[in-house]
């Protein structure tokens, strides 16, 4: 598993494009018949991708977490960004369609990912997992796509009309740390999370999906008065440290999985920044 140590905002002004991408952009999570993994030491979050194509993919453990099995000391939220598939957790099988979410609680031993129709229109299942250390075991729980707590945000006139779906959160599926959901831009709207914000109590990870292969999202990061950008493709992720804004504009419509971990789970504990105050 790739290890990425935490960074400070003081490091950002000295980084060129290649270093920004090496530290904050997450590519290649979805490898045929395999599991891709990145361990960010920002709140010790692990981002995983599982892409079963010709057969099931078993989630193993990694030497970096010194655990007998992946969820021994951890929990995780999963969203399927590909075609329909199943996730088997200790003998219970969940049918997970595009955009649906499964929370896996601490202690789950055997986790297997399978595609239901790898040759279908949406291709093989692509299971995106965000995991954080967990102090107790909450029940493994499934949420159908769109069945979380829905918030309608933004306006078509400012190109930021979007539907936010909270899956794992304080008033929904319970967890120790992980807060997770999916935001979908409405047709013609391109801006996510505008106005932008930070939440110094939590890191956040993004995974853009349903973006056409030749389109890109210009993702803003960094302190609000010292921003940089990353040009991000479909099914690529971004690590957003607690001090960093995370907002982006697409060259086409898209969705993204957002997930957070850290000090609290209060979704609305965030500090917003009017664009006129940003640099
Ligand atoms: O802290 C919350 C996260 O940044 C996202 O939920 C924001 C988001 O999806 C949006 O405004 O479009
Ligand atoms: Zn945020």
Query: What pLDDT tens digit does each residue of the chain (279 aa) get?
Result: 999 999 999 999 999 999 999 999 999 999 999 999 999 999 999 999 999 999 999 999 999 999 999 999 999 999 999 999 999 999 999 999 999 999 999 999 999 999 999 999 999 999 999 999 999 999 999 999 999 999 999 999 999 999 999 999 999 999 999 999 999 999 999 999 999 999 999 999 999 999 999 999 999 999 999 999 999 999 999 999 999 999 999 999 999 999 999 999 999 999 999 999 999
* Residue 108, token pair as written in the block: 């789950």
Cα–Cα distance, 220 to 204 (Å, whole number): 13
According to CATH, the topology of domain 2-277 is Jelly Rolls (2.60.120)
Q: Which atom of ligand 1 is nearest to the CA of 267?
A: 1
Q: For the whole prediction, is pTM greater than 0.90?
A: yes
> How open is the CA angle 107-110-113, to the nearest 5 degrees?
125
Query: Which residues fall within 8 angstroms of residue 203, CB to CB, at 6 or more apart?
Result: 40, 42, 43, 45, 239, 240, 241, 242, 260, 261, 262
* Pocket test residue of 162, 258, 275 for ligand 1, highest count of atoms within 8 A of CB: 258
DSSP code of residue 10: G
The encoded tokens of residue 91 equal 């003998």
Ligand 1 mean position, distance from CA 122 (Å): 25
Taking the domains of the chain in order of start, what are their residue ranges? 2-277
Residues with CB under 6 A from ligand 1: 153, 162, 164, 183, 192-193, 199, 204, 246, 258, 270
């Amino acid at each position: 598993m790739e290890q990425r140590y935490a960074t400070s905002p003081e490091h950002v002004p000295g980084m060129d494009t290649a270093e920004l991408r090496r530290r904050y952009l997450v590519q290649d999570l979805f490898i045929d018949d395999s599991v891709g993994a990145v361990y960010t030491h920002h709140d010790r979050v692990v981002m995983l991708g599982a892409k079963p194509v010709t057969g099931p993919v078993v989630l193993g453990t990694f030497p970096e977490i010194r655990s007998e099995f992946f969820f021994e000391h951890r929990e995780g939220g999963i969203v399927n960004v590909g075609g329909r598939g199943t996730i088997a957790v200790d003998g219970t099988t969940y049918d997970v369609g595009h955009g649906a979410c499964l929370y896996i609680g601490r202690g789950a031993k055997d986790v297997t990912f399978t595609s239901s129709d790898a040759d279908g229109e949406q291709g093989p299942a692509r299971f995106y997992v965000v995991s954080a250390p967990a102090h107790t075991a909450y029940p493994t729980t499934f949420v159908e796509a769109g069945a979380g707590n829905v918030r309608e945000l933004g306006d078509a006139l400012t190109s930021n009309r979007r539907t936010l779906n909270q899956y794992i959160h304080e008033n929904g599926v319970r967890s120790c740390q992980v807060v997770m959901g999916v935001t979908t831009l409405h047709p013609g709207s391109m801006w996510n999370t505008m106005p932008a914000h930070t939440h110094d109590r939590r890191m956040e990870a993004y995974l853009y999906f349903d973006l056409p292969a030749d389109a890109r999202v210009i993702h803003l990061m960094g302190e609000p008065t010292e921003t940089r950008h990353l040009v991000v493709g479909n099914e690529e992720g971004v690590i957003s440290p607690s001090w960093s804004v995370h907002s982006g504009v697409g060259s086409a419509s898209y969705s993204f999985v957002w997930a957070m971990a850290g000090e609290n789970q209060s979704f609305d504990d965030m500090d917003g920044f009017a664009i006129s105050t940003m640099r």
